[in-house]
Structure 1
Amino acid sequence: MRLPLIAPMLATPGTLPPAGQDARWAYETKQDGQRVVVYLPGDGSLELRARSGEVITGAYPELRPLGGVLGAMPAVLDGEVVAPDERGHGDFQRLQSRMGLAHSPAMAARRAAETPVHLVLFDVMFLGRDLTALPYARRRHALEGLALAGPHWSTPGALVGHGAQALEATRESGLEGLVCKRLDSVYEPGVRSRSWIKIRNVRTADVIVGGWLPGRGRLSGLPGALLVGQREAGRLRYVGRVGTGWSEAERVELARLLRVVETRTCPFDRDPRVPGAHWVLPRLVGEVRYGTRTRAGLLRQPSWLRLRPDLAPEDSAADLP
C-alpha cells in the first residue's frame, strides 16, 4: 500500500522533568547517529528517509531484510541508524563513512562489510492505520509488540520513571544522553515539541591554547577560533578548535593575551595542519565544555567556558582516551 509520508517529531533541549512528574515520563537513551523514518509497505521492501525527507535506503544495504519481517503488515517506524564502536555505543565519526552513499550501491556494500550499522527503533507512527494521535505509551506498547530484533536492528527498552537514575547511568556509561518522553504525548510530525526533551551529557576539560584562527567580518582582528591541546606524557597533543562561548569583551581580552605570547613555531607535538593558523606559546589555560570525543581524541562540539589563570599549563593534565 502507499504509506503516508511522516516527518519525524523532534525533541527540545532541556532538563529532567520535576521529580513530582517523574512517573508521567518515559526515558530512552539518546543515540549518536542519523535519524531515519522507516517505511515498510508490506510487500517485502523497505524505504529509509532522512530527517530532510531524502531517500537514503541505498546507503544501508544491511537493513533491507527488515522489509520482510512484518509480512504484509504496513508500518512506518521512527528510529536512528548508528555505527557501534567496540563498546556497542553509537560513534558518529564511524557513521560518517556510511553516509552519503545512497546512490553508490557498490561503495555502500563495501562500507557495510567494513563498518556495519545498527538501526535503533523507538516509535511507530503507522501500523495498518495512523497511530500518531495515540499517546506515546500506547504507541510504545504497539512497537514492543512487534518484537523487532535482528542482526542489524533492535528495540531498546524505555524506562518509565526514575529519570535521575537513568541520566546518571548514561553519564557513567559514556553515552550521548537521555530523551524524556511524556507518556500521554501524541506524535507531532515535524514539530520540535516540549513533550520530548533531550538532555545531552556535557563534559568539561582544561585545555592549553596553542594557536588561533582570525575571525571574519565584525570579528576581523579578533580570534574566530582557538586551537587547543592537552598534555600527554610531557607533550602537547592537539584536541581541536573552539569557536564559540565568548562574549565580545572576552574575545577582545583574548586577542590582547594572544598577541603577548605569539610565536612562529607550532607548539603541538604534531602540526594539525590548520590553514591560516597563528601559533602562540602554550601558556594560556582555559576550560571548555564538550559533548564527546572522537576516536582520535578530538573534542566534539566544544564551547569556551572561561580562562583558568589559576592553572599552570603543566598542571592541566589530560583526560585523553
Structure 2
Amino acid sequence: MAFLPRIAPMLATPGKLPPASADDAYAYEVKQDGQRCVIYLPGDGSLVLRSRSGATITPAYPELAGLGTALGSRPAVLDGEIVALDGEGRSDFERLQSRMGLAGSPARAARMAVKIPAHLMLFDVLFLDTSSLTRTPHSERRTVLETLVLTGSAWSTPAAVVGHGPQALEMTRAAGLEGLVAKRLTSLYEPGVRSRAWIKIRHVRTEDIVVGGWLPGHGRLTSLPGALLMGQPGPDGRLHYVGSVGTGWSDTERTTLAALLDTVASDTCPFTERPAAAGARWVVPRLVGEVRYATRTKAGRLRHPSWHRLRPDLTPDDLG
C-alpha cells in the first residue's frame, strides 16, 4: 500500500467572470452544491474520503467504496464534491444533508444510501503513482484526470470547457444550476488556500455566517427562533455582527434550528459589539449557515438576508 500525502483542498474565491480578454485563459466547470472532499486511493482496493476540515467521512458514503478499485493498483489523491441529485440531475444540498454526519453510523448510512444515493463529481488529481501534481498547471492536471476515465455508477468526471465563460454561465442559469467555477489554466494547486486563481461565480449572492444568537418568534412560535443573529469572523479572529435573518426556512427547519440552538445556549454575547436586539438569547458560536442577500451596507451588515441552509460540513474556523 502506497504512502499518500495529506492534502487540504484548494478553495475558490467568490467573484465575477474573468474579463473577455482573459476568457481563453480559464477553464469553466459547473459549481456543484454538495460536500467537498479529498479522495485517497492507496492502490489496495480501499479508499478514504476526507471532508474539507480533514475529518474522515468514508463510512457515510458506502456506495463510493467501489471507487477504491477503479485505478487498480495505481495510488492517487483526487479532489471532488459529493452531491445528491434531484430528479433533473442537479445537485441538491438539502437532499444531501440527510446523508451528512453519518460517518459514525454505518448501518444508517447504508440504509440512507438506498433512499438518497450520493454521487461523487471528480474535478482534480493531486497525486498519482509516485508523484505529487500540486505544482503542475491546472490544464495538465485536467488532462491527466480525463485519461483516468473515472466513470462509475456513483462517480463521474464532469466536463469542463476552456473559454466561452459568458455562454457557460448563461447555460447554468437556464438549467437552474448554482453557477460556475472558473479555473486559470496555468494555476498550480494551492492546498488549503482560498485562491484568486479559482473564481466561483454564483447566480445569487450568498455568504456563510456563524450563528451567535437568536430572537424568539411570536405567538405559537415563542419557543422557536423568529430570527437568527449572524456573525462573521474578522481579521482579528473575533466574531463581528453582520445582521439578523428571519425568513427563508420551513417549519421543519425552524424546529431543527431550535433543537440545535438549545444545545449551544450561552449567557455570553459572542459578538465584538452587542447587537441592539431586545430579548436576544445567546449561543456558543458553533453553528454555520448560508444565507442569500441583496448587498452589504457600509457598516458591513447583510441587506435583505434570507436563510438558505445549515452548513454542517463547515465550522467557524473554516470562515476565517
Q: Assess same fold via TM > 0.5.
A: yes
The equivalent of 2:152 in structure 1 is: 150
CA RMSD of aligned residues (A): 3.2
The equivalent of 1:29 in structure 2 is: 30
The count of corresponding residues between Structure 1 and Structure 2 is 239
User: Per the alignment, in what secondary structure is the counterpart of residue 190 of structure 1?
Assistant: coil
Q: Provide TM-score, normalisation by structure 2.
A: 0.68
User: Do the aligned partners of residues 227 and 4 (structure 1) sit closer, same or farther apart at CA in structure 2, a change above 3 Å counting?
Assistant: closer
Which of these residues, 140, 165, 168, is aligned with residue 166 of structure 1?
168
- Note the C-alpha offset of 1:103: 1.5
The equivalent of 1:112 in structure 2 is: 113
Q: Provide TM-score, normalisation by structure 1.
A: 0.68
User: Per the alignment, in what secondary structure is the counterpart of residue 188 of structure 1?
Assistant: coil
User: Per the alignment, in what secondary structure is the counterpart of residue 48 of structure 1?
Assistant: strand
2:204·2:292 contact (CA, 8 Å) conserved in 1?
Answer: no
Which of these residues, 286, 293, 300, is aligned with residue 303 of structure 1?
293
The equivalent of 1:49 in structure 2 is: 50
Q: Matches of 2:30 and 2:229 in 1, distance apart?
A: 37
Q: Indicate the structure (1 or 2) with the bigger Cα radius of gyration.
A: 1
Task: Give the gaps of 5 or more residues in structure 2.
Answer: 207-216, 219-225, 232-242, 255-274, 282-289, 297-320
Q: Matches of 2:142 and 2:96 in 1, distance apart?
A: 27
User: Do the aligned partners of residues 133 and 213 (structure 1) sit closer, same or farther apart at CA in structure 2, a change above 3 Å counting?
Assistant: closer
User: Do the aligned partners of residues 162 and 55 (structure 1) sit closer, same or farther apart at CA in structure 2, a change above 3 Å counting?
Assistant: same
Q: Deviations 1:74-110 (Å, cap 9, x if unpaired)?
A: 0000000000011111111110100111121100000
User: Do the aligned partners of residues 56 and 177 (structure 1) sit closer, same or farther apart at CA in structure 2, a change above 3 Å counting?
Assistant: same
- Note the C-alpha offset of 1:216: 10
Q: Aligned AA for 1:142? A: V
Percent identity of the aligned residues?
Answer: 62
Q: Matches of 1:79 and 1:196 in 2, distance apart?
A: 14
Q: Deviations 1:125-157 (Å, cap 9, x if unpaired)?
A: 001111111100000000000000000000011
Q: Deviations 1:29-85 (Å, cap 9, x if unpaired)?
A: 000000000000000000000000001000000000000010010000000000001
Q: Matches of 1:133 and 1:85 in 2, distance apart?
A: 36
Q: Aligned AA for 2:192? A: G
Query: Where in structure 2 are the equivalents of 1:178-189 lying within 5 Å?
Result: 178-189=180-191
Q: Aligned AA for 1:4? A: P
Structure 1 consecutive aligned stretches of length 4 or more whose deviation exceeds 6 Å = 214-217, 237-241
Task: Give the gaps of 5 or more residues in structure 1.
Answer: 205-209, 218-223, 230-236, 242-250, 256-274, 277-299, 307-321
